Structure 1
Amino acid sequence: MKFSYFYYFCIVSVVALYKNKAQIFQNQLGYCEPFTVEFIAGLVSKEARQILDPGSRPRQKQLRYDLFTRRNPYKRQLLLTGDRNRLLASNFNASWPVRLSIHGWNGQTTTCSNAAIKDAYLARSDYNVILVDWSDYSLDINYFRVVTEIYEIAHQLTNFTRFLHNHTGTSFKDMYLIGHSAGCHIAGMAGKLLHPYKYGVIFALDSSGPVHRSLDAKWRLAPTDAYYVESIQSDVALFGFPADNLAHASFYPNWGLGQPHCPNVTTMEPDFTCDHFGALYYFVESLQNPRAFGAVKCKNYESIENYKCGCGARQCKASDYMGGDPAVPKKGVFYFSTRATMPFGYGDICRMKRPIKSTITRI
């Protein structure tokens, strides 16, 4: 991709503007960062800066952990592994469940999609919501390099959760990991590294597939990585993982293909990533209404590929529901449909719809 010097100057200026903004997290444009700015400006400007100044590359990449509670819903409290004083001075409460949200490639904790997860949890009840920032790694134009670093990233995350456990008494079983895209595989690897203990739940929101589909289960998300693993695959045609071997329960909204609201009712991401982020926004809605997404069980993944799930009618009574918190363990492959506008869920009824093309083929 070629950029004029003028266009590059505009991008760098936008990045600088966002870096100087007050760090306010709220799921509304103007209070959080749409992914569009990060995708265009973050990769290009960072790579160009590091080419011009190799010394600007971080010598040691680190994860940061942004804590939000109902006492600080919009202003993060930064936690660091090993910093016990910082932890004890924060609003972390060991009597509240811990939910760790892990963004995907080229993500940061300041994005609107992260804010959506955080806001939904805090609107529901008292939680320790921790947004895991691995942007030292993720803001890299070389995705293959990022994939090779997932073990290292997960190792840092596991050490942080051990730190929480050791100094607050929080059970690993009370910790849920919510990953999006590559963040799903980070969650899975963290679950492997926690052995012999296990996290309570991993929610995998459109696990990335272009590289990970070819990897052995020991290098990607697998059902054994937590007591319960649930995946929501909304973009199997492009960015997602086209299989059912990631989780105990695998949900395929709209057959995992074109999502009816795309492009782009959320206006938070580039149009061609809309399907990929669909799983994330459906999960957010399930936190607000655990019975929003009624689903029907399918025979196997081939049923999804051949659009053969259902009860033989245009509308089927839901047999199970996607998402929600606390998680309700399920097993198998499931289909559900969504509306083109929010709220996306149909509730107790699953409408059997014809598949539509993925967004990337329609823009």
Structure 2
Amino acid sequence: MRAQLDPSWRASRIKRIRYELYTPQNPYKAQVLQSGDANVLRASFFNAKLPVRISIHGWTGKSTSCSNAAIKDAYLAAGKFNVIMLDWSAISMDISYGRISRQLHEIATNLLEFTQFLHLVSGVPYESIYLVGHSAGAHIAGLAGKQLRPERYGAIYALDPAGLVQLPLGEDKRLAPNDAIYTESIHTDIALLGNPSTKLTQAAFFVNWGLGQPHCPNATAAEFDFACDHFAALYYFAESLRQPRAFGATQCRRCNGRGLFSNSRILLDEWDCGCTNADKTGECPMTVFMGGEPAVPKNGTFYLSTRSKPQPFGYGETVRIKRAGPAKYLHSSFLSNKFVGNLLMKWHNSA
């Protein structure tokens, strides 16, 4: 309501978006870049000869969270990059996800203008810019990609893209397959905070069927199952940057009469992710790897499973077929925006 009465208030919030640069020269202490300030850019360690990777957090997130640090550290361990963290925490901490969703387009426009500034001042090509978005950040990436056309970013990685509000939206208002040269999504919590759609990106990976990540604990006061599941996509992606062959996956096929998820009601009668000998061996041949650097274009819907403990999570070239984990909170009426927001706040504070 306040933003509607006073437009300058909303503008001031958008201006509080920060772009924090990390490079091999400053892997731990960020340099803050400002769209339109060429002097600050030239005085920084930004190197137009290196690829640009922009990480975008989600609802209740911030650039300094452990999960974002994992992405940044993985890129810098994998090679020489300009890693930029888009921090929109001045907006994302709003307890109302509905209110947040109405501002994603403005944040995406800010991101668009920032990347245009980088391109014009430094000459860095758009195709060498990848956007890595978690949850709502995935849709920010997609909305920025739409506005950049006819140019396109090199890739968008959508890490458990949000589905709370975006589920019924058309392609013009959410992430879509052609928002970058290549788009890939990693789904880990489709039951609540994530998005079960296979139509958001060119390649969609459903890790452990997108339900009940095996390393996530039972719900406790400090860490809730669904929050752990939702953030698992970031840690899987970070591992794929360090080990590009960590997550072998098998392609799913459209079918009739069988569901993607064992003993669940999600995406019934759409996909079969098994293989001929899966019932006997519990394994299927891998067809592609998830994630990695640089992006390797794939197309389709894919399944893979992970270990219950990290180091590593991935099984490498082996695809082990497992039963879908429980989604105890699926279709729970008590999970209001306010309740979920409070739980996420607690999770972030404990992380």
Match of 1:196 in 2: 150
Q: Secondary structure at the match of 1:106?
A: coil
CA distance in 1, matches of 2:173, 2:241: 29
Q: Tell me the residue number matched to 1:235.
A: 189
Tell whether 2:275 aligns with 1:311.
yes
How far, CA to CA, are the matches of 1:271 and 1:210 in structure 2?
A: 17
Aligned to 2:326: 357
Structure-1 residue corresponding to 2:316: 347
Partner of 2:293: 325
Residues 6-43 of structure 1 deviation map (CA, whole Å, 9 limit, x = unaligned): xxxxxxxxxxxxxxxxxxxxxxxxxxxxxxxxxxxxxx
- Picking from 12, 19, 24, the partner of 1:60 is 12
2:337 — aligned with what? none
Q: Using the alignment, how far apart are the partners of 1:60 and 1:143 within structure 2? A: 20
CA contact (8 A) 2:139 2:174 kept: yes
Within the alignment, does 1:150 sit opposite 2:107 as a pair?
no
Cα separation, partners in 2 of 1:300 and 1:129, compared to 1, 3 Å: farther
Deviations 1:284-304, CA, capped at 9 Å, x for gaps: 110011110110000149535
Matching of residue 251 in structure 1 with residue 205 in structure 2: yes
Identity of aligned residues (%): 54
Q: Partner letter of residue 310 of structure 1? A: G
Match of 2:242 in 1: 288
Match of 2:260, SS state, is helix
Give, in angstroms, the shift of residue 110 of structure 1.
1.0
For 1:341, what is the secondary structure of its paired residue?
coil
Q: Is the 8 A contact 2:254 2:272 kept in 1?
A: no
In the TM superposition, residue 280 of structure 1 has moved relative to its aligned partner by 1.0
Asked whether the equivalents of residues 189 and 226 of structure 2 are also in contact (C-alpha less than 8 Å), the reply is no
1:297 paired with 2:266, answer no
Judging by fraction of residues, say which structure has more helix. Answer: 1
Map of 1:209-224 to 2, 5 A cutoff?
Answer: 209-224=163-178
CA-CA distance at 1:337 after TM superposition: 0.4
Describe the SS at the equivalent of 1:223: coil
The AA in structure 2 aligned to 1:354 is: R
Structure 2: how far apart are the matches of 1:270 and 1:77?
34
Distance 2:55 2:328 in 1: 26
Structure 1 pair 150–117 and aligned structure 2 pair: CA distance change class (3 A): same
Moved more, 184-193 or 303-312: 303-312
| Alpha-carbon distance, 1:58 to partner | 6.9
**2: distance between equivalents of 1:300 and 1:121?**
35
Local SS of the residue matching 1:303 = coil
**Alignment partner of 2:154: what SS?**
strand
The residue that corresponds to 1:35 in the other structure is none
Shift in Å, 1:270: 4.6
Paired residues of 1:274 and 1:359 also in contact (CA < 8 A) = no
**Across the two proteins, how many residue pairs are aligned to each other?**
307
1:106 is aligned to 2:60: yes
Where 2:40 maps in the other structure, the secondary structure is helix
Q: Which runs of 5+ in 1 are unaligned?
A: 1-49
State TM-score, norm by structure 2.
0.83
- The equivalent position to 2:40 in structure 1, one of 81, 86, 89, is 86
Partner Cα separation in structure 2 for residue 82 and residue 270 of structure 1: 41
TM-score (norm 1): 0.81
Cα 1:328/1:269, change in 2 over 3 Å: farther
1:70 deviates by 1.1
What are the Cα deviations for residues 144-169 of structure 1, in whole angstroms up to 9, with x where unaligned? 11101111100000000000000110
- Residue 176 of structure 1 pairs with residue 130 of structure 2: yes
> Secondary structure at the residue paired with 2:167?
helix
Cα RMSD after superposing both structures? 2.2
Aligned residue for 2:304?
Answer: 336
Structure 1 residue 272 and structure 2 residue 226: aligned? yes
Aligned to 1:206: 160
